[in-house]
């Protein structure tokens, strides 16, 4: 087992930018996956069901009845996958740990066989010169903890603290970058609000309780990681900050945008980065939850422990207005259909699809300016905060040609546009340290099952053959140049 630390993780603010097409020195080029979406081996080596195993087995919850039982079989094929990453020249790989693989009941001692998988994966990455970026939680709560109340129960944050300590002990000598949670908004608001994600509950009060306990779990994990990891380790959280835009300049639309920004973004950035829940959010939601009972003394100090980097995931902007009869649809917000709104406390808002924009297979508008604005907004609100784009990418209806190739010019265009937006934000003062393409390879896209392909690498699920798409070759070229190729090469 090699206990070497890769030195590809950035420790310092990048200093130079080479206009017009270069990226800062030390800018990290990566790709991301998540445990339940790629690993498979759902019942091997002691792993027990997570809420996603249960949810995907519940009829009608996931398209085609797909499950993550086998997924991309990354658990068995990680060596080949790391070799592929190396071929593509990736400098970092963002993966997540399956909690119920390492702590099957969500409490108590760890299962060494489960930990060994991550030790082997990390060693393989380090040997290939690829920096491992470990996310502790990408939505797969051990089912036993959901049965005990799930994220709406404060005790789940205690369990997460123990789990974080186990992981720091197992991988702390060789993983230099850690992320506590991936997109806690989805865990809370899609999991307990609209119910389109596991565990599929639709309880407004529980949604807000879940959000607070996720924040608390994050803060506690930061404390644990800082206590156990070497000083140079970077600790972060990844948020899917919604780039909320009002449809018109009207006051009513501005208020709709404020409310969605509240339950979509500031419910996390407020306590994590500013040490307080925003007053307007509390006012908007206090009929659903008693915040003074929910937030204990000391919670906000814990939650606001400084992070080294903020991870941001971006796919498409969120266009909102006050409800308008005949226009907009309160449910068509890009997060799946449900009779229950995920926007707990801000239900009376209409969501719109931007006109005149190309769309991905998710029907999400393609809008690189949204990424630029997002990076600039965070920089304006939190000057000097280092940022990392931890997910960005697109699903398209990819297929293998008779010659065995996958041409995906739309994805190349998408990536080119968004990387150019990152570059523009860097030139305008945002401290963006890296970019992780979602996803390394096709995988289980939650409620959409295997019907949506986000990978730079095509996965033929029947044979588990990997075929790098044209976009993977394009991305490899970007990494080699440390710059975007001329736009004419893009498509
Ligand atoms: C993000 C998730 C990721 C993937 C992409 C498309 O919200 O973090 O797992 O599903 O969307």
- Map out the domains of the chain with their CATH numbers: 28-489 (3.20.20.80)
Length of the chain: 491
> What is the residue with the minimal CA distance to atom 5 of ligand 1?
438
Q: Relative to the CA of 37, which ligand 1 atom is closest? A: 9
**Residue 483: burial class (beta carbons within 10 Å; 0-12, 13-18, 19+):** middle
The tokens for 213 are 């306990």
**Of 39, 124, 391, 445, which one is the catalytic site residue?**
391
Q: pTM for this structure? A: 0.95
Question: Which region holds residue 92: left if phi is over 0, alpha if psi is between -120 and 50, else beta?
Answer: beta
**Residue 400: burial class (beta carbons within 10 Å; 0-12, 13-18, 19+):** middle
- Establish whether 183 is a catalytic residue: yes
The one-digit pLDDT tens for each residue of the chain (491 residues) are 333 333 334 444 444 444 446 799 999 999 999 999 999 999 999 999 999 999 999 999 999 999 999 999 999 999 999 999 999 999 999 999 999 999 999 999 999 999 999 999 999 999 999 999 999 999 999 999 999 999 999 999 999 999 999 999 999 999 999 999 999 999 999 999 999 999 999 999 999 999 999 999 999 999 999 999 999 999 999 999 999 999 999 999 999 999 999 999 999 999 999 999 999 999 999 999 999 999 999 999 999 999 999 999 999 999 999 998 754 444 567 788 888 999 998 888 999 999 999 999 999 999 999 999 999 999 999 999 999 999 999 999 999 999 999 999 999 999 999 999 999 999 999 999 999 999 999 999 999 999 999 999 999 999 999 999 999 999 999 999 999 998 754 44
- Establish whether 391 is a catalytic residue: yes
Q: Relative to the CA of 240, which ligand 1 atom is closest? A: 7
> What is the residue with the minimal CA distance to atom 2 of ligand 1?
183
Q: What phi and psi, each to the nearest 5 degrees, are found at residue 417?
A: -60, -40
Alpha helices in 193-306 (DSSP H): 204-228, 251-261, 267-269, 279-285, 291-294, 299-303
**Of 183, 223, 293, 355, which one is the catalytic site residue?**
183
Strand-pairing partners, residue 32, are 94, 438
Among 445, 451, 452, 456, which residue has the most ligand 1 atoms within 8 Å of its CB, making it the best to mutate? Answer: 445
Ligand 1 proximal residues by C-beta, below 6 Å: 34, 37, 182-183, 186, 240, 313, 391, 438, 445-446, 454
Ligand 1 centroid–CA 240 distance in Å is: 9
Which residues, in sequence order, are CB contacts of 236 under 8 Å at separation 6+?
177, 178, 179, 180, 307, 308, 309, 310, 311, 388, 390
Nearest to 201 by CA among 213, 189, 212: 189
**Residue 306: burial class (beta carbons within 10 Å; 0-12, 13-18, 19+):** exposed
Nearest to 271 by CA among 247, 295, 238: 295
Residue with tokens 């809370």: 188
The tokens for 166 are 């186990």
């Amino acid at each position: 087992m090699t206990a070497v630390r890769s030195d590809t993780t950035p420790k310092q603010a990048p200093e130079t930018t080479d206009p017009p097409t270069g990226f800062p020195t030390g800018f990290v080029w990566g790709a991301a996956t998540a445990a339940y979406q790629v690993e498979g081996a759902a019942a091997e080596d002691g792993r027990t069901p997570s809420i996603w195993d249960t949810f995907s087995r519940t009829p009608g919850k996931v398209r085609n009845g797909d499950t993550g039982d086998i997924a991309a079989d990354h658990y068995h094929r990680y060596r080949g996958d790391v070799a592929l990453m190396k071929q593509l020249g990736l400098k970092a790989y963002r993966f997540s740990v399956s909690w119920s693989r390492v702590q099957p009941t969500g409490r108590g001692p760890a299962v060494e066989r489960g930990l060994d998988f991550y030790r082997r994966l990390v060693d393989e990455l380090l040997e290939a010169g690829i920096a491992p970026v470990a996310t502790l939680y990408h939505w797969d709560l051990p089912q036993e903890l959901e049965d005990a109340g799930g994220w709406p129960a404060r005790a789940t944050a205690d369990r997460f603290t123990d789990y974080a300590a186990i992981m720091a002990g197992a991988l702390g000598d060789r993983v230099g970058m850690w992320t506590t949670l991936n997109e806690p908004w989805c865990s809370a608001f899609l999991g307990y609000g609209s119910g389109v994600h596991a565990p599929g509950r639709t309880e407004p009060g529980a949604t807000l309780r879940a959000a607070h306990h996720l924040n608390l779990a994050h803060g506690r994990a930061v404390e644990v990681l800082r206590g156990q990891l070497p000083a140079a380790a970077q600790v972060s959280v990844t948020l899917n900050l919604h780039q909320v835009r009002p449809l018109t300049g009207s006051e009513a639309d501005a208020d709709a945008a404020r409310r969605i920004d509240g339950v979509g973004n500031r419910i996390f950035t407020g306590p994590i980065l500013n040490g307080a829940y925003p007053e307007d959010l509390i006012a908007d939601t206090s009929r659903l939850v008693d915040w003074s009972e929910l937030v204990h003394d000391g919670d906000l100090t814990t939650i606001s422990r400084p992070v080294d980097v903020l991870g941001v995931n971006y796919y498409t902007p969120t266009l909102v207005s006050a409800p308008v009869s005949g226009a907009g649809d309160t449910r068509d917000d890009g997060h799946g259909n449900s009779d229950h709104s995920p926007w707990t406390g801000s239900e009376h808002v209409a969501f719109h699809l931007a006109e005149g924009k190309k769309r991905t297979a998710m029907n999400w508008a393609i809008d690189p300016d949204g990424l630029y604005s997002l990076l600039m907004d965070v920089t304006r609100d939190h000057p000097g905060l280092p940022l990392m784009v931890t997910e960005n990418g697109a699903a398209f209806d990819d297929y293998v040609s008779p010659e065995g190739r996958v041409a995906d010019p739309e994805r190349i265009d998408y990536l080119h546009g968004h990387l150019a937006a990152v570059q523009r934000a860097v030139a305008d003062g945002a401290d963006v340290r890296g970019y992780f393409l979602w996803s390394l390879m096709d995988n289980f896209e939650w409620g959409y099952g295997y019907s949506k392909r986000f990978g730079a690498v095509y996965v033929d699920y029947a044979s588990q053959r990997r075929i790098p798409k044209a976009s993977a070759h394009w991305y490899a070229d970007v990494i080699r140049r440390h710059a975007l190729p001329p736009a004419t090469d893009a498509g």
